[in-house]
Structure 1
Amino acid sequence: MSNVLVRDAQPGDVEAIWNLTRELAVFEHLEDQFVATVDDFHKELFGEDPAAKVIIAEIDGKLAGTALYFRTFSTFLGRSGIWLEDLFIHEEYRRHGVATKLMEELKRRSPGRLEWMVLDWNEDAIALYDHLGATQFTDAWTHYRIT
């Protein structure tokens, strides 16, 4: 595993976070749905009432990956948790322990559940999550969205 530094994102990181999220949209074949602007990210991540947080992984001072997340609450557990919205690693830094470090940090920050979804064709990510001991909920729930 490379020397990976994980830290909280700062306002000066917003353009790099936005660029990496745009890369994620391309990777997921969803670039037509990526309409957020750098200003949107700045407002929602670092504004008066932030909607989400980001942790950044760096190797040798270079951005290697990000994890964008927000707090949840489990009524069954009676504790807060984390919903991981986006985890993305620059291609050149994959298989260097970056995603594992980010996931470990998110788990450390969550007193309850750490939850997320993954596209069913993303076999590398699924293999990582299985390796980390995550549980798949493929047949228990139906996902809904209103836009």
Structure 2
Amino acid sequence: MASQAVTLRPGRLEDVETIHAALLKLAIHIGARQDIKSTADDLRRYGFGENPTFSTLIAEVDREFAGLCLHFPIFSTWMGRPGVYVQDLYVENRFRGRRIGEKLLRRVARECRAAGGVYLRLSIHTDNEIAKAFYGRLGIGCSSHEQVQKIVGDAFFVFADSTEKK
């Protein structure tokens, strides 16, 4: 089989079902299918609605979906500069080994840099050794001075809706 070129393009509204399917496959891959609560409608609303909160970059091989990078802008008050947060990076199994994930990340980094950004941040599932090795090969290392904290679901709603404790 001849080596087909990889093309990258911004995600479009008509890609929503494919994007959501890829996110489900990613969750299954890391053993977290039960944690996916989003729907294609959520992606339509928050990624392609009036005020998009994220962007996607789609990789294709011969017009066939090969992968995606879902990302959004962030800002470092310590550096005083913008950056980009990669929420999800996914490559279809049959296209792995073709540096598609790297191409997606480098393109997102270039776009961030062109907008004045100076860093890329992401997090990975703690048990995903393949991802750790992949990012390590690209020079994207684990931060030794930060730990991700979060509050979700009912606990988040209670926190958001409650008043400050005295």
TM-score between both structures, scaled by the size of structure 1: 0.93
Q: 2:121 aligns with which of 98, 102, 115?
A: 115
Letter in 1 for 2:104: L
Q: Which of 1 and 2 has greater Rg?
A: 2
Report the aligned-residue RMSD: 1.3
**Secondary structure at 1:136 match in 2:** coil
Counterpart code for 1:36: S
Instruction: State the partner residue of 1:145.
Output: 150
Q: Which one of the candidate residues 19, 37, 40 is aligned to 1:38? A: 40
2:101 alignment partner in structure 1: 99
Q: Give me the whole-angstrom Cα distance separating, in 2, the residues matched to 1:33 and 1:119.
A: 12
**Shift of residue 27, structure 1, vs aligned partner:** 0.9
5+ long unaligned stretches in structure 2:
153-166
Percent identical across equivalent pairs? Answer: 30
Please say if residues 72 and 80 of structure 1, whose CA atoms lie closer than 8 Å, have aligned partners that are also in contact. yes
Name the residue aligned to 2:28: 26
Q: 1:136 to 1:2 in 2, by over 3 A?
A: farther
State the one-letter code of the partner of 2:136.
D
- In structure 2, distance between residues paired with 1:81 and 1:133: 16
TM-score, normalising length from structure 2?
Answer: 0.83
Contact 2:10–2:56 (CA under 8 A) maintained in structure 1:
yes
Aligned to 1:13: 15
